[in-house]
């Protein structure tokens, strides 16, 4: 009740003072209509068998005046499938609220805070609505710019979970510099540390789990874990180099063999060189036992308060995106290299290779990728490419290796855009994935007609052309009919879709989603 009162007072202040400052906001709503389809396994739960519809929405307001900024967001879930695609979530309330004040180079924020240290390896409070991730820090956050060379920040609070909070406490500190070392050399170094203190209830559960083990596998857990990081970005002429190293102290870590007393470390680096018409980028990452959760009792994406950078590039192609590898917290070492060449304004070429193993040397992921964009034909844009991948399905999707061997796939794709005039265009996508594993080979086709800044119409189909009858009983079509309309600051979308079961990844965080059948309506608005 106190939360509601605080939020209403803030909203009242926003409205009464709107003429003195700046009031803005945003709305996002999704509605799903579930159509039962046993052929693709879109059935067998209350969403399809009983409820038939559901959705979620977020309405946020932000008001700034005289150095003060107040933010409040109302979240609502009615038979929503967003948290768990097979279970309905119904809840509503204040999803976040905060008040901040900036004066004399000091910014104080109370309430829900979104921030990160470095690339986020030891701490990142962020939101991703597609996966229902909202691990804002609820507490107090201070940021002070000491001078033009140094900024420091500190925070303390608890990690948000829906309309509640995880009980363990987080405390953190970071200092970041900004220095010129010469005419063309610039560095932005930083250091950070985070301390997590478990609450008694969480610790009691950890102790109970450890006491169930054989005597020789037991250990004494600790309430406090500490993680520290050093990071730096170097810009020197045409080169950019980022490096970060992090270490975490011993604590109880959930592994496939139960809880273990482990410390952890991460090394992450990117190096880029860019010149006119040419560029090259390289990424390296090594992770060992670097699980960062409010307690080891949490699973999947619950209780995470950090974010692991990903090595692989996120591909937009529908078939290729099915096998995006998520970052591994316990054991991963890999690298990627990408080269792009633009000889003239009508041609561009790109090639990359990604190689990811476990620390024990097991193959996790391989990708060789090349594409080209051609603009030399009047009114046409051609985008053509090819991907070869090896994907460890048993590890990434937690399946039995004997039944789910590594996926080996070859996927050519073609995209053609025809500009009818300055406002109208037609886009076509054709993709074919050749593989004997998982569901077997796929074909995908899309046709989209766009009227600039107002309308977009698309129809597509994904077809299991050569099924792997070990996992599917017959080939299925997965059609999608889509329309979008933009009017000013409002965007409305509607689609009828059948979606194959698989892994959905956003920013390196992935989860399994069962098949979907039905209609979706969406509204996004800003003001």
CA distance 438 to 313: 22
CA distance 18 to 254: 49
Confidence at residue 8, expressed as pLDDT on a 0 to 100 scale: 46
pLDDT in tens, the chain (527 residues): 455 445 545 555 554 554 578 999 999 999 999 999 998 889 888 999 999 999 999 999 999 998 899 999 999 999 999 888 888 999 999 999 999 999 999 999 999 999 999 999 999 999 988 888 999 999 999 999 999 999 999 999 999 999 999 999 999 999 999 999 988 999 999 999 999 999 999 999 999 999 999 999 999 999 999 999 999 999 999 999 999 999 999 999 999 899 999 999 999 999 999 998 999 999 999 999 999 999 999 988 899 999 999 999 888 899 998 999 989 999 999 999 999 999 999 999 999 999 999 999 999 999 999 999 999 999 999 999 999 999 999 999 888 888 889 999 999 999 999 999 999 999 999 999 999 999 999 999 999 999 988 999 999 999 999 999 888 888 999 999 999 999 999 999 999 999 988 876 665 566 777 889 999 999 999 99
The pair of structure tokens assigned to 386 is: 């090819």
Confidence at residue 3, expressed as pLDDT on a 0 to 100 scale: 54
Confidence at residue 85, expressed as pLDDT on a 0 to 100 scale: 85
> What residues form DSSP beta bridges with 333?
286, 357
CA distance 399 to 60: 40
CA distance 243 to 303: 26
Confidence at residue 1, expressed as pLDDT on a 0 to 100 scale: 46
CA distance 48 to 90: 16
List Cα–Cα distances, 192 to 12, 155, 225, 310, 347, in angstroms.
38, 11, 14, 20, 43
Q: Cα torsion at 413, 408, 340, 418 (round to 10°)?
A: 10
What is the pTM assigned to this prediction?
Answer: 0.88
Task: Determine phi and psi for 310, rounding to 5 degrees.
Answer: -100, 150
List Cα–Cα distances, 466 to 41, 152, 436, in angstroms.
19, 57, 8
Do residues 502 and 482 make contact, with C-beta atoms less than 8 angstroms apart? no
**Length reported for the chain:** 527
Angle at 477 between CA 471 and CA 481, to 5 degrees: 140
Judged by DSSP in three states, 11 sits in: helix
Confidence at residue 264, expressed as pLDDT on a 0 to 100 scale: 96
Do residues 404 and 437 make contact, with C-beta atoms less than 8 angstroms apart? yes
Q: Looking at residue 124, what DSSP letter applies? A: E
């Amino acid at each position: 009740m106190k939360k509601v009162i605080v939020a209403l007072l803030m909203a009242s202040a926003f409205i009464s003072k709107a003429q003195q400052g700046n009031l803005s906001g945003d709305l996002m709503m999704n509605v799903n209509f579930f159509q039962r389809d046993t052929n693709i396994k879109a059935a067998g739960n209350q969403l399809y068998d009983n409820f038939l519809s559901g959705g979620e929405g977020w309405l946020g307001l932000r008001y700034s005046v005289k150095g003060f900024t107040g933010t409040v967001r109302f979240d609502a879930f009615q038979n929503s499938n967003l948290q768990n695609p097979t279970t309905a979530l119904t809840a509503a309330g204040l999803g976040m609220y905060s008040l901040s004040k900036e004066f004399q180079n000091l910014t104080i924020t109370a309430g829900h805070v979104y921030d990160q240290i470095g690339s986020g390896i030891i701490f990142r409070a962020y939101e991703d609505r597609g996966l229902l991730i909202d691990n804002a820090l609820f507490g107090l956050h201070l940021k002070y710019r000491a001078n033009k060379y140094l900024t420091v920040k500190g925070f303390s609070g608890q990690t948000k979970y829906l309309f509640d909070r995880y009980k363990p406490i987080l405390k953190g500190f970071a200092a970041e510099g900004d220095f010129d070392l010469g005419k063309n050399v610039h560095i932005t170094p930083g250091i950070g540390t985070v301390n997590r203190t478990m609450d008694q209830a969480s610790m009691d559960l950890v102790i109970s789990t450890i006491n169930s083990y054989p005597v020789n596998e037991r250990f004494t857990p600790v309430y406090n874990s500490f993680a520290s990081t050093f990071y730096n970005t170097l810009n020197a002429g045409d080169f950019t180099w980022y490096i970060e190293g992090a270490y975490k102290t011993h604590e109880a870590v959930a592994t496939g063999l139960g809880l273990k007393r482990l410390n952890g470390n991460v090394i992450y680096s990117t190096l880029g060189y860019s010149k006119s018409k040419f560029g090259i980028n390289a990424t390296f990452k090594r992770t060992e036992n670097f699980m960062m959760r409010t307690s080891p009792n949490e699973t999947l994406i619950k209780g995470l308060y950090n974010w692991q950078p990903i090595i692989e590039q996120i591909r937009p192609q529908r078939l290729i995106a099915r096998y995006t590898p998520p970052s591994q917290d316990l054991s991963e070492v890999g690298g990627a290299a990408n080269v792009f060449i633009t000889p003239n304004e009508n041609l561009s070429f790109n090639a990359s290779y990604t190689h990811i193993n476990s620390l024990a040397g097991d193959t996790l992921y391989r990708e060789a990728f090349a594409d080209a964009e051609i603009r030399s034909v009047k009114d046409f844009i051609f985008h053509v490419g090819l991907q070869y991948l090896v994907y460890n399905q048993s590890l990434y999707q937690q399946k039995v290796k004997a039944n789910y061997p590594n996926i080996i796939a070859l996927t050519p794709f073609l995209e053609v855009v025809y500009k009818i005039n300055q406002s109208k265009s037609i886009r076509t996508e054709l993709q074919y994935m050749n593989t004997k594993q998982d569901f077997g080979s796929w074909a995908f086709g899309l046709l989209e007609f766009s009227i600039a800044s107002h309308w977009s119409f698309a129809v597509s189909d994904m077809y299991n052309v050569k099924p792997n009858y070990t996992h599917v009983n017959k080939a299925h079509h997965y059609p999608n009919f889509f329309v979008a309309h933009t009017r000013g600051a409002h965007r409305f979308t509607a689609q009828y879709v059948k979606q194959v079961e698989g892994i959905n990844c956003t920013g390196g965080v992935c989860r399994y989603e069962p098949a979907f059948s039905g209609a979706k309506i969406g509204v996004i608005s800003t003001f």
